[in-house]
Amino acid sequence: MPIRTKKQLISEINSLQKHLEECKKLELRLGTKDKELKECIRNLEERVECRISAERIINKQLRGEIEERKKIESELYITKQFLENIVNGITEQIMLVSKDFKILWANKTFLEQFGCTMKELAGNYCYAVTHNLQSPCRAPHDTCPVFKVLEAGVPIKEIHTHYGPNGEFLSEVSAYPIKDKKGEIVEFVHIARNISKENKAQP
């Protein structure tokens, strides 16, 4: 190994000192970066925790809303069944009709009078079921009470001829408008009572 001169040793020492200083600076920078990285991770963890907490709150609220909705739906179903039981016990024929004459619902008496089921009836036109017609009743035949309600905007009562499986029979028909919030007629309640026997009994 060659012998170094004093000048060479001093130069090597200075080089090593510079290298050492650079290492210290790099270590300091890495320490700063490491601190920034840790701070970033901590902030991210806090944001994740806040997000999870918010989702827990939202999920709890949603579960509460779902339970409340189920409760309301259950109460509505019970109320609907109760009202249907009442309406199905009425001896008059009752049906709910849309503005375009489609039957939306009918009670048990109506179904028995016209020999059909609700499944067969739903979506059919009232004039097709009660009069065997392809269009609404018009003069010189029975005048359609739904038309009269549309024109007058008030309940109508009149004598009407209906046609069931056992032939024609006379009915006393009452039609009532159902209006929306704007006061426009959107549906009708059609109530009919078979008065054929009463009519025959009259002198």
In this structure, which amino acid lies at residue 139? Answer: A
Q: What is the pTM of this model?
A: 0.59
Domain boundaries, the chain: 7-88, 91-201
Mean pLDDT of all residues in 152-174: 85
Higher pLDDT, residue 109 or 142? 109
pLDDT of 120 > 60? The answer is yes
How does residue 123 score in pLDDT terms, banded at 50, 70 and 90?
confident
Q: Over 60: is that where the pLDDT of 4 sits?
A: no
Can you say whether the dihedral through the CA atoms of 76, 80, 82, 86 is positive or negative?
positive
CATH 3.30.565.10 fits 91-201, yes or no: no
- pLDDT > 70: percent of the chain: 75
